[in-house]
Structure 1
Amino acid sequence: MPGAGCLTFLRTQWPLWALWAAASALFLGVGGLAGLPAEFMLYAAALTLVVLLALQGALFRSWRQRARLLSQLQPDDPGLMRAYLARYPLDPASHTLERFTARHLNSVAERQRSEREREEYFSLWLHQVKTPLSAMALLLDPAREEEVSRAELLRERQRTEHYVQLALAYLKLEQPSADLDIRPVDVDDVVRRVARRYRTLFLGSRTTLEYRPSGFRVISDAAQLELVIEQLISNSLKYASGGTVRIAAHPTEPSTLVIADDGPGIRPEDLPRLFERGYAGRAGQQRGGSSGLGLYLSRRICHRLGHGLRLESRPGEGTRAILDMGDHPAD
């Protein structure tokens, strides 16, 4: 409303009107003491009032233009913001608006990046989860002549469950406000739970599990830590099929668990990239069923828990996953 705008403007101009009133009163008082004619003094006060009104008119037009431009500003349109700052460089609000716009644009860019990552992650996830589901459909096909192997069905079911757990863990990581249940965790209990779940798969693939209890009690989130250990054991079982998976404390590093296999190992050029999202390496591509998501998510979980995770491997000499559950604050 124009009237409301005028009143708002006048409320900002009261110091100028107060100055005019004080100056006029002083002039009239001094003129009266000096014996000047009253008409002369009133004429001078009226003349200064006309000048003040003209100045107020010019200031009001400028104020209205600035208010109109401000009302059109959108945080997502930096062009309008740059035009405003160029036109009113001395406006006290300019720097505040500039900082607000920069923060908003950074927030939008971060949100868009997070959404792209989520879309890419679940595109890969959907592609991978179809593999065990298709395998179970084939195993249960009534036209199938071979007898269904319970071990095969269990393997595909566990792969599906593991992918679901990875998806839930990813969504939890995407919510910074989601609380971790940090408390002392018995690492041996976690390893035993995972080993019991994978017992049938170890037997079905004729893979030996050699486990030496570590005696570790660490500060962590039991559910998240179990997901990481399950991923590492699952990887070792996949690549050591028919061989041996060894789990033991690191001989020299405290609070560090080593999960090793005697599989084909990893090429040096693949090793640095295995924690990247969607990167499976040549061994994973050759064996199939590798999503390139498990290690990526495991590293992210470890980062949030303050743990360290690295791989050591040479072609033909197997792979060692080294999980350091000591205190490593996130950057």
Structure 2
Amino acid sequence: MKAIRLFLKDHLSFLVFQGFLVLFLLLLFWLDGFRSYDIFIYAMVMSILFTFGFLGGKFIMRRSFYAAIVQKPSRMEDALIQYAQGPEHQRIANYTRNLYKIYQDEAQSLYSSQSRQIEFMNHWVHQMKTPISVINLLVQEEEIDRQSVSEELDRLQAGLDTVLVNASLETFERDMTIEKINLQQLVQETITAHKRLLITNRIFPVLEIDETLIVATDRKWLKIVIGQFITNAVKYTFEKGKRIYLTGKLAEEGVRLSVRDEGIGIPTSDLGRITNAFFTGENGRLTGESTGMGLYIASEVCEKLGHPLTIESEMGVGTEVTLLFKNGEGGANVGATREVDRSDEDL
């Protein structure tokens, strides 16, 4: 009954039009003097029959549509119209299905994001227990080893920074400011920010970026990305005295920034998955400190900034990570090389 009422409301304007049409015919017969009452009655009856016959046939063809929309759905799938008749209702049914697909994609994205945040926080809390326990042991000693305490505090700080960066990814667009930046200066600032890590592990950066290279990007987020590359390079370079090469070159596509280390390299079986969230791989199990989020965050940031990221590696030789700035600019002396000295001051 609800479907019939809805159908009649939907066609109320049509019924009103038919009523005016009947009155118009009545006016014509009245002006003609009603010379033939039989024809008048026949015309009125046929007009009413055709009208209700048309509406009845239309309702029968579309009753599944009206029956579906008058029922209160108990789940999302119940709102999808399975058997729509007529072009308009078929278009509505397709629109509803597309809308439902968008809803599913957004719901799945929110669920994945929430699950990733929960899993990351659980993993991070478990990892932070180690430096806290070490600091507790160190402060109980008569003579506190300040160097060891500083290293553990650096681990805590790095963990906190990762949590904050991961949380900021959800509101990336609101925290992004694109500007023209001197690439050499930004990379040097990033190296300086990580100088204690480099000095402690006796890893020496080599800067090969021309001072005239300019790129359009977000300063804060790019420093986070480069810092992650440097951290990974140090973490997986077990021998002392190795180097990290940070190279900027002007290419046809734009400016290429490469960070190459002399570490242990990444196994070929892991290379295609290292940017997945929480993937640690064989190398991550060697150190026991990997969260599997560093390269994931870096790849997400690069994708949002529009900087294609490529990673190449060879076991026992090292790993090279390359960023492409498609809108980069450069000067004439691209490739000026400068090795950062091994002293604290130059780092």
Q: TM-score by structure 2 length?
A: 0.75
- C-alpha root-mean-square deviation of aligned residues, in Å? 3.6
SS of equivalent residue, structure 1 residue 264:
coil
Separation in 2 of the partners of 1:74 and 1:211?
63
SS in 2 for 1:140: helix
* Separation (CA, whole Å) in 1 of partners of 2:144 and 2:126: 19
1:312 aligns to what SS in structure 2? Answer: strand
Greater RCO between the two (CA within 8 Å, min separation 6)?
2
Within-5 A mapping of 1:214-293: 214-215=210-211, 216-241=213-238, 242-250=240-248, 253=251, 255-293=255-293
Provide closer, same or farther for how the CA distance between residues 50 and 90 of structure 1 changes in structure 2, counting only shifts above 3 A. Answer: closer
- The answer to whether 1:21 aligns with 2:23 is yes
Equivalent residue number for residue 70 of structure 2 = 71
Between stretches 64-73 and 228-237, larger displacement belongs to 64-73
Identity of aligned residues (%): 20
Displacement of 1:54 in angstroms is 6.5
1:111 corresponds to which residue? 107
Letter in 2 for 1:201: L
Work out the CA distance in 1 between the residues paired with 2:190 and 2:95: 50
- Identify the range of structure 1 (179-188 vs 104-113) with the bigger mean alpha-carbon deviation: 104-113
Change (3 A) 1:280 1:12: same
Say if 2:181 and 2:214, in contact at 8 Å, map to a contact too.
yes
Q: Does 1:202 align with 2:198?
A: yes
Q: Which amino acid aligns with 2:308?
A: G
- The number of aligned residues is 319
Structure 1 residue 302: Cα displacement: 0.9
What are the superposed Cα offsets for residues 194-222 of structure 1, whole Å, 9 maximum, x if unpaired? 22222222222233333345423210000
Aligned pairs for 1:297-308 within 5 A: 297-308=297-308
Cα drift, residue 304 of structure 1:
1.5
> Which one-letter code corresponds to 1:209 in the other structure?
P
Q: Distance in 2 between matches of 1:57 and 1:323?
A: 65
Matches within 5 A, 1:134-173: 134-141=130-137, 144-145=140-141, 147-173=143-169
TM-score normalised by L of structure 1: 0.78
Counterpart-to-counterpart distance in 2, 1:152 and 1:71: 70
Single out whichever of 215-224 and 122-131 deviates more from structure 2: 122-131
Change in CA separation of 1:14 and 1:244 when aligned onto 2, cut-off 3 Å? same
When residues 296 and 206 of structure 1 are mapped into structure 2, their CA distance, relative to the original with a 3 A threshold, is: same
Instruction: Quote how far apart the aligned CAs of 1:76 are.
Output: 5.3
Amino acid at match of 2:243: V
Deviations 1:9-28 (A, max 9, x none): 53442122122222232234
Q: Distance in 2 between matches of 1:177 and 1:326?
A: 20
Structure 2: which 5+ residue stretches go unaligned?
329-347
In structure 2, do the counterparts of structure 1 residues 47 and 110 end up closer, same or farther at CA, with 3 Å as the change threshold? Answer: closer
| Preserved contact between residue 256 and residue 325 of structure 1 (Cα < 8 Å) | yes
Q: Supply the distance in 2 between the matched residues of 1:224 and 1:255 (Cα, whole angstroms).
A: 17
State how far apart, in whole Å, the 2-side matches of 1:224 and 1:309 are: 14
Q: How many Å separate the matches in 1 of 2:271 and 2:99?
A: 37
Seen in structure 2, the aligned counterparts of structure 1 residues 166 and 327 have a Cα distance that, compared at 3 Å, is farther
Judge conservation of contact 1:306–1:327 (CA < 8 Å) in 2: no
Contact kept in structure 2, 1:136 and 1:153, CA below 8 Å: no
Whether the 8 Å CA contact 1:183–1:219 is kept in 2: the answer is: yes
Kept in 2, the 8 Å contact 1:258–1:323? The answer is yes
Deviation at 1:269, TM superposition (A): 2.0
C-alpha spacing 1:16/1:137, structure 2 compared with 1 (3 Å)? same
| Uncovered stretches (5+) of structure 1, i.e. residues with no partner | none
